[in-house]
Amino acid sequence: MDNSESFSSPSSMDQIDELESYIQGLSDDDYIDFIADFLKPTPLEIFFVGIFFVLMVVGVVGNALVVYVVASNRHMWSSMNVFLTNLAVSDLLVLIFCLPPTVINDITKSFWFSATFCKAIVFCQNTSVYVSILTLICVSFERWRAVCSPLAIARWRTFHVVILVWTISGLLSIPEPITLTIVPHDYARDNLSIVWGTTCKESWSDDFQQKYQLIQTMVLFIMPLVLISGLCIHMTIILQRKALQIGERQLRNRKKAIKMLVMVVLIFAVSYLPVHLHNIAKSFNYSPPMSENNLTFIAKSFEKNSAEHVVADLVRRRDGECTIGWNNNKRLLAEAVPEGGSTPTPFVTTPSPLPE
């Protein structure tokens, strides 16, 4: 029985309630098949795996070439090029540590590795994101300086700034990995418990998670966006005042600097707004934990567009769920509670973790 085709994807809370009623009416065997079908990767998800693979290859090759060209030509070690190279390095980390685990998570919906690996990969993910954001701020200041205070900055100071960026990013990345733990994925209903794989997730309270996400959104999105936008506005004002005092070529170069900064603002806003909205929504129980409301989780999973799910999780990088592999044999262990009997301890069917 293909239960994934027996019910259309809901688009409202009424349809979610209808789906819950539908699930409750399934027999145990049909419910197991329903969960198995839910865990299967969809054709659209598989399609996006191919798209993301192409993006990863292009991104890795492109950023690696930037690093190689600048590093091998000492005369190119200007402040701007150093910052751009640092941005390329952080982008490489994003492509290597964030893209594959997130895509695999969307396909397999399980974490198959040790808690140490869980902590390490989330630390690398967060560090790469923070480095990207702080480097964008440095690039913005560099463009602002080129227009408003066109004086050369000593190369050694630029490298010190880069070291400071990585240090701050590493420190900001420490809190979350410390709280990460491995928990089973439980797709339970009434007298039936189905456990498939595990999840790498934070062990702190929901209230703390909400505050953490709000602070991160403020510090890592709103404040940088306001700062970069302010620099852009100030550059425009200064350029208008000096338009008659500088040559045409210099004016043209400074206008290019402003255009570049405007693009930085737009790309930053478009790229990171969905990330923070997704994280905030999730921290406020947009996606309830499995143990608390499994049916609503399944319903909302059907409600979400698969493409949006992959893209949102791709850039989020603080979900902490990284997975590898897929078992097509539906090895889901369900244990029904006999009527009037006590609730037995549910068995957990999980892949064996690789050694640390």
All domains in the chain, ordered by first residue: 3-336 (1.20.1070.10)
Residue 342 one-letter amino acid: S
As a whole number of angstroms, the distance between CA 346 and CA 330 comes to 17
* Residue 346 pLDDT: 33
Strand 192-202 and strand 180-189: pairing? antiparallel
As a whole number of angstroms, the distance between CA 304 and CA 319 comes to 17
Among 128, 118, 29, 52, which residue's Cα sits nearest to residue 311?
52
Q: Please say if the pLDDT value at position 136 is more than 60.
A: yes
Buried (b) or exposed (e) across 198-222, using 16+ Cβ within 10 A? Answer: bbbbbeeeeeebeebbeebbeebbe
* Arithmetic mean of pLDDT, 292-308: 39
Q: Which residues pair with 201 in a beta bridge?
A: 181
* Residue 96 pLDDT: 83
DSSP structural state of residue 66: H
CB count within 10 Å of CB 87 equals 20
Sign of CA dihedral 102, 103, 106, 112: negative
Q: Which two tokens stand for residue 294?
A: 């499994």
**pTM over 0.85, yes/no:** no
Which one of 18-22, 109-113, 203-207, 295-299 scores highest in mean pLDDT?
A: 203-207
Q: Which long-range contacts (CB under 8 A, 24 or more apart) does 318-321 make?
A: 318/122, 318/125, 318/126, 318/176, 318/216, 318/279, 319/102, 319/105, 319/201, 319/282, 320/118, 320/122, 320/176, 320/180, 320/199, 320/200, 320/201, 320/202, 321/101, 321/105, 321/111, 321/199, 321/200, 321/201
CB distance 327 to 111 below 8 Å: no
CB distance 9 to 270 below 8 Å: no
Split at pLDDT 50, 70, 90, the class of 184 is confident
Q: Which residues pair with 180 in a beta bridge?
A: 202
In this predicted structure, which of 78-87, 173-182, 219-228, 340-349 has the lowest mean pLDDT? 340-349
As a whole number of angstroms, the distance between CA 244 and CA 256 comes to 17
Per-residue pLDDT tens for 26-77? 777 777 777 777 777 778 878 878 888 888 899 899 999 999 999 898 888 8
Tokens 């999980």 -> residue: 350
Split at pLDDT 50, 70, 90, the class of 139 is confident
* Arithmetic mean of pLDDT, 109-135: 84
As a whole number of angstroms, the distance between CA 74 and CA 81 comes to 11
Q: For the chain, what percent of residues have pLDDT higher than 90? A: 6
* Residue 190 pLDDT: 63
The mean of the pLDDT values for the chain is 70
Buried (b) or exposed (e) across 246-272, using 16+ Cβ within 10 A? Answer: eeeeeeeebeebbebbbebbeebeeeb
* Residue 235 pLDDT: 80
Q: Which helix (H) or strand (E) holds 196?
A: strand 192-202
Contact residues for 299 (Cβ-Cβ < 8 A; gap 6+)? 10, 16, 19, 20
Phi/psi of residue 242, nearest 5 degrees? -95, 5
Of 41 and 139, more confident: 139
Of 266 and 150, more confident: 266
* Arithmetic mean of pLDDT, 310-328: 34
The dihedral formed by the CA atoms of 206, 211, 216 and 219, expressed in degrees to the nearest 10: 180
* Residue 311 pLDDT: 32
In this predicted structure, which of 92-101, 167-176, 246-255, 290-299 has the lowest mean pLDDT? 290-299
